[in-house]
């Protein structure tokens, strides 16, 4: 029975790490749950097993700058999120995604300002309707990927939703 429990926990751990790598699950949730799963693992002789969640290894584009305009919104209904991505080792930037708690971390593709992802440096943007968002600070993220679908590190920008002043 203990061996079966151990196998199930290890499979769940691997599944969650794969989900985080593919962007299907937020990494904070994955590593929190992975820690809980790892705390329940024990060797056949009852000795606890220590599992360390590996740090993500990124080889995709790096975000050199990111901003949201206007920020604070001061009653604006639309915010433009703008980022500059640079390919790792000169690789071509193939795309960028925008996500946050407002969309349950579902990714939204961003657009290149020159209408094509065709170089190792790209400026991207997304016009976001924030009219239904609650007042306060919302953290949103941008993450790029290269032609091999390798993701770069995500970057965040705090977006302050405020009423007209």
DSSP 4-40: HHHHHHHHHHHHHHHHHHTTSS-HHHHHHHHHHHHHT
Residue 11 structural domain = 1-56
pLDDT value, residue 129: 93
pTM for the complete prediction? 0.65
Q: Are residues 70 and 144 in the same domain?
A: yes
- Write down which residue in 10, 27, 56 finishes a domain: 56
pLDDT value, residue 163: 87
pLDDT value, residue 102: 78
Q: Are residues 49 and 78 in the same domain?
A: no
Q: How many domains does the chain have?
A: 2
- Write down which residue in 56, 71, 94 finishes a domain: 56
Looking up residue 104, the CATH number of its domain turns out to be 2.60.40.770
pLDDT value, residue 93: 94
pLDDT value, residue 77: 94
- CA-CA distance, 100 to 94, in Å (whole number)? 21
Q: Are residues 70 and 105 in the same domain?
A: yes
Q: Are residues 103 and 84 in the same domain?
A: yes
Q: Are residues 139 and 77 in the same domain?
A: yes
In this prediction, the residues of the chain whose per-residue pLDDT falls under 50 are none
Neighbours of 2 (CB within 10 A): 11
Q: Are residues 21 and 101 in the same domain?
A: no
pLDDT value, residue 116: 93
Q: Are residues 112 and 43 in the same domain?
A: no
Q: Are residues 105 and 156 in the same domain?
A: yes
Give just the sign of the alpha carbon dihedral 93, 144, 70, 133. positive
pLDDT value, residue 36: 54
Q: Are residues 51 and 67 in the same domain?
A: no
Q: Are residues 94 and 19 in the same domain?
A: no
Q: Are residues 78 and 152 in the same domain?
A: yes
pLDDT value, residue 72: 93
pLDDT value, residue 104: 78
Within 35-92, strands assigned E span: 62-69, 78-86
pLDDT value, residue 99: 92
For residue 42, give Cα distances in angstroms to 38, 47, 142. 9, 5, 38
Q: Are residues 71 and 109 in the same domain?
A: yes
- CA-CA distance, 72 to 156, in Å (whole number)? 15
Q: Coil, strand, or helix at residue 48?
A: strand
pLDDT value, residue 155: 93
């Amino acid at each position: 029975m203990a061996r079966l429990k151990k196998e199930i926990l290890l499979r769940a751990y691997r599944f969650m790490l794969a989900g985080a790598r593919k962007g299907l699950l937020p990494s904070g949730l994955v590593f929190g749950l992975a820690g809980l799963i790892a705390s329940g693992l024990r060797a056949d002789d009852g000795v606890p097993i220590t599992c360390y969640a590996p740090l993500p290894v990124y080889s995709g584009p790096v975000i050199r700058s990111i901003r949201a305009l206007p920020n604070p919104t001061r009653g604006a209904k639309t915010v433009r999120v703008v980022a500059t991505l640079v390919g790792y080792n000169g690789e071509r930037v193939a795309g960028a995604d925008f996500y946050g708690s407002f969309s349950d971390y579902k990714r939204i593709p961003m657009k290149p300002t020159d209408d094509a992802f065709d170089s190792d440096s790209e400026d991207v943007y997304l016009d976001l309707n924030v009219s239904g968002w609650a007042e306060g600070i919302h953290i949103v993220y941008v993450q790029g990927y290269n032609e091999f679908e390798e993701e770069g590190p995500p970057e965040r920008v705090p977006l302050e939703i405020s009423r007209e002043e």
